[in-house]
Amino acid sequence: MHILALIAGVAIILTVLLDAFETVVLPRRVQRHFRITILFYRNTWAPYAKLASHIKSQTRRETVLGYFGPLSMIALLIIWACSLIFAFALLQYAGGEHLSLSNQPINFRLLLYHSGETFFTLGYGDITPASYYSRVLSVLEAGMGFGFLAIVIGYLPTIYSAFSRREIEISLLDARAGSPPSAAELLTRAVDSLDAGTLDRLFHDWERWAAEVLESHLSYPVLSFYRSQHSNQSWLGALTVILDATALVITGIEGVSSEQARWTFKMARHAVVDLAQVVNAHYDPHAQERLGPVDLAQIRAQLAAKGLKMRQDAEAEEKLHNMRMKYEPYVLAIAKTLYISLPPWIRRDHIKDNWEAGPWDRMTQAQALGRISHERQGERQSVTVDDHF
């Protein structure tokens, strides 16, 4: 029995330490399937998101889904800590009678208590090691607990720093492509300053952003579950819009260079392909079509109104279709897994952008209308008095 406890304790400690190292310290993707982190997210995200999907309000639903990322990270840290405490209790149990507590018999429940106070370096002194073996275990556990807390303290700022860098470009996309963003809106809004190479610089910035998202989300997969500040924005939506826009430019728009668009498309496509594997997304052969003939015709008309003429021959349509097939199955699969709404190719609504909307707009508009009405009433009264005299 003691031998089994020793083997189980050592196995749990090694498994937890390896999983924590790969999740927090190792800055690369780990393809090993049996991991505590992978099992945790695969068995918690699906039921959590399923429950949240019943919320009808998009804003409230996104708020609830947004809690999962931070809460899951805290829960994972608790699982690691509890597993280590349990494992060291098993090792203490395997050592036999080696502790004293006012001459009371030591059972496994008290060993768990002793392991917990040692791991968190409380040191109450009510249970003391009585053998060389137990003293070594206590020192090792106290050191491990101290290092564990230090890693946690350093881990949280790193996560939120990467999240902040990701969200900056998403916020900048609001004025450039609308809320929610769309490829047609991005191109039409950029056309006014196209002569200065604005679109190329924009694509260059988004190429670097896609690379940063790929690196950060591979190193810290929990970032995939972090939602953006607004319910109509997301990291996946931003990637999709950039892929849509670069696909249109590569297909052919008169007077617009496609060289930078190709580099950006390659980087963004690389990101969605790898991240689809990170979130364990599955290919759906029955996924809904994102771009139909009617939408494509409207995109051509919207771009033509701004002086951007797209190619309309059969070869161009086939090229656009082939490019879409390189990334749309992946973004659709990620969206389905993470319950993210993908942006449309072209917007049909007249909703204000996020930067235009505000909680005081109606009040300030009502006050302005009231002042205008009052001034006009005063003018009519003044005209009436002048006519009287």
pLDDT tens, residue order, the chain (389 aa): 578 888 899 999 999 988 888 888 776 676 666 788 888 998 999 999 999 988 888 888 988 999 999 999 889 989 999 999 999 999 888 876 666 666 677 778 888 888 888 888 877 767 777 777 888 888 898 888 888 888 877 788 888 888 999 998 888 888 888 888 888 888 888 876 655 577 888 899 999 999 999 999 988 888 999 998 888 889 999 999 999 999 999 998 888 888 999 999 999 999 999 999 989 899 988 888 888 888 998 998 888 888 888 888 888 889 999 999 999 999 999 999 999 989 989 887 777 777 677 666 665 555 655 665 656 665 555 555 455 44
* pLDDT at residue 385 in the model: 47
* Residues 6+ positions from 270 with CB-CB distance below 8 Å: 210, 214
* pLDDT at residue 80 in the model: 92
Q: Is the dihedral of CA 375, 381, 382, 387 positive or negative?
A: positive
Integer CA distances (angstroms), 125 to 45, 89, 91, 109, 133, in order? 41, 17, 19, 17, 18
Structure tokens at 6: 């020793």
- Which domains are delineated in the chain? 2-153 (1.10.287.70), 162-338 (no CATH)
* pLDDT at residue 332 in the model: 95
Alpha-carbon distance of 299 to 301, in angstroms, equals 5
* pLDDT at residue 79 in the model: 92
pTM above 0.85, yes or no: no
* pLDDT at residue 241 in the model: 94
Structure tokens at 169: 């470009």
Structure tokens at 368: 């302005």
C-alpha dihedral (364, 366, 354, 308), degrees to nearest 10: -110
Angle at CA 344, nearest 5°, toward 341 and 346?
Answer: 160
Integer CA distances (angstroms), 188 to 205, 238, 356, in order? 18, 17, 18
Task: Note whether 213 and 271 are within 8 A (CB).
Answer: yes
Alpha-carbon distance of 114 to 111, in angstroms, equals 5
* pLDDT at residue 366 in the model: 56
* pLDDT at residue 195 in the model: 57
* pLDDT at residue 188 in the model: 85
CB-based burial label for 206 (10 Å; 0-12, 13-18, 19+): buried
DSSP summary character for residue 21: I
* pLDDT at residue 213 in the model: 94
CB-based burial label for 342 (10 Å; 0-12, 13-18, 19+): buried
What is the SS3 assignment for 233?
A: coil
Q: Where are the alpha helices (DSSP H) in the chain?
A: 2-20, 36-52, 58-66, 68-94, 108-119, 132-177, 183-190, 198-219, 235-252, 259-278, 293-305, 314-338, 361-388
The phi and psi torsions of 99 (rounded to 5 degrees) equal -125, 155
DSSP summary character for residue 53: T
* pLDDT at residue 386 in the model: 52
Kindly write down the DSSP assignment for every residue of 263-290, as one continuous string.
Answer: HHHHHHHHHHHHHHHHTT----TTPPPS
